[in-house]
Structure formats: structure tokens, C-alpha cells
């Protein structure tokens, strides 16, 4: 069995899967912030008891948005950020363009802005044949990272057929790198 040797905190977004409420961008951010706040709350107070540098959000596709947001609003740097098939912005994902629409009031899910505020190592895995969230999104987001890990570009792979073992090995290597380089 492949494992990352990590504790996992999973959370739902309002209106998605089994969670109550209506889906919204605001709901994604509220859920990410609540998860972060629970994770850093001391265990004696009913929280997860984690230090910020022990938190490494993972986001895939739309899930990249709350993960990037969490890194951008955390008061202290997080341990890292792992993204699989991330979108640059909502418009970039829908239109298939790798061009940030920064400043556009009609665009949503602006990872292009959040990634600029990430004060941690960022690792991105993306398939080069992704027809759901175009590969150009991952490449453009990677270029915007201040502390980018060497990306994992998966030739000929799409949104839902990435080599899971290769992605798991890649993220495991990133976590090993982050752990070895923490101060």
C-alpha cells in the first residue's frame, strides 16, 4: 500500500456532495478557513493541535481553489501546497486559456491571485492532455509561484486518468523535501 504518512483532514464545501447549503465561491472559502482554524486550534480546546507549518493543503481541480485560498489567508506560512490539475481562474479553466484575468470583476476562483500570497513550497501535477482544466492552467499557475517545486507534467494524461502511483510518489517526494528543509 502506498502512503504519505500524514494525518488527513477532509472537509466538504456547502452545497457539494453531502454537505447542506447552496454551492458558492464564498462557501468554498468559508469551508477552507474553518478547516484551517480547526486544525490549528489546540487539541485541549477540541481542535487538531497542528502548527501552521505542519499543514499542507491538497487540492485537485476545483479543490485547488480553497487550498490556494487557505495558503493565501493563513497568518503564518503553511508547510506546503500540493495541487493536482489546478485551475488558474474560473474563466481560464472554462475557456481553456492560460491567461490570468486578474482584475476582472466577473471572473471567479482566482488561484492566479491566491498563489502570489502562498509563503510555502508549491507543487503542481497536471496532465498535458487535460480537457477539463487545460494544461495551460497548471503551467501558468506554476510560473506564478514564488517557491515552486519542480512540477510533474504527465504527458498524454487527462483530468481523470493521471497515473495515481506517479502522482503519489511525486507528492511523497515533495513532502519529504518540505520536511527536510523546514527551519
Taking only the tens place, the pLDDT of each residue in 57-73 is: 999 999 999 999 999 99
Which of 88, 54, 79, 82 lies closest to 168, judged by CA? 82
Q: How high does pLDDT run on average in the chain?
A: 89
Cα–Cα distance, 160 to 97 (Å, whole number): 19
Confidence of residue 10 (pLDDT cuts 50, 70, 90): confident
Element (H, E) at 127: strand 122-127
**Catalytically active residues, by annotation:** 61, 130, 159
Query: What are the cell numbers at 71?
Result: 495558503
Give the least confident one: 34-48, 89-103, 146-160, 167-181.
Answer: 89-103
User: Strand 58-60's sheet: what is its strand order?
Assistant: 58-60, 81-84, 122-127, 152-154
51 class by beta-carbon count within 10 Å (0-12 exposed, 13-18 middle, 19+ buried): exposed
- Report the predicted TM-score, pTM, of the whole model to 2 decimal places: 0.90
pLDDT of amino acid 31: 93
What percent of the chain has pLDDT above 70?
A: 90
pLDDT at 101 over 90: no
Query: What are the cell numbers at 148?
Result: 515552486
Which of 91, 86, 73 lies closest to 135, judged by CA? 86
Q: How far is CA 183 from the centre of its chain?
A: 23
pLDDT digits (tens, 9 = 90+) for 13-50: 888 888 888 888 899 999 999 999 999 999 999 999 99
What percent of the chain has pLDDT above 90?
A: 71
Query: What are the cell numbers at 4?
Result: 504519505
Element (H, E) at 58: strand 58-60
Amino acid at each position: 500500500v502506498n502512503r504519505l504518512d500524514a494525518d488527513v483532514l477532509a472537509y466538504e464545501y456547502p452545497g457539494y456532495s453531502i454537505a447542506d447549503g447552496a454551492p458558492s465561491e464564498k462557501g468554498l472559502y468559508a469551508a477552507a478557513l474553518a478547516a484551517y482554524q480547526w486544525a490549528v486550534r489546540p487539541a485541549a480546546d477540541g481542535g487538531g493541535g497542528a502548527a501552521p507549518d505542519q499543514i499542507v493543503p491538497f487540492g485537485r481541480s476545483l479543490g485547488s481553489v480553497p487550498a490556494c485560498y487557505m495558503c493565501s489567508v493563513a497568518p503564518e506560512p503553511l508547510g506546503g501546497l500540493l495541487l493536482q490539475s489546478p485551475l488558474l481562474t474560473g474563466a481560464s479553466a472554462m475557456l481553456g486559456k492560460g491567461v490570468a484575468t486578474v482584475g476582472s470583476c466577473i471572473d471567479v476562483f482566482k488561484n492566479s491571485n491566491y498563489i502570489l500570497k502562498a509563503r510555502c513550497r508549491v507543487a503542481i501535477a497536471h496532465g498535458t492532455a487535460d480537457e477539463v482544466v487545460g494544461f495551460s492552467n497548471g503551467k501558468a499557475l506554476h510560473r506564478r509561484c514564488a517557491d515552486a517545486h519542480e512540477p510533474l507534467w504527465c504527458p498524454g494524461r487527462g483530468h481523470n486518468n493521471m497515473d495515481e502511483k506517479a502522482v503519489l510518489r511525486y507528492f511523497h517526494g515533495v513532502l519529504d523535501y518540505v520536511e527536510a528543509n523546514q527551519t
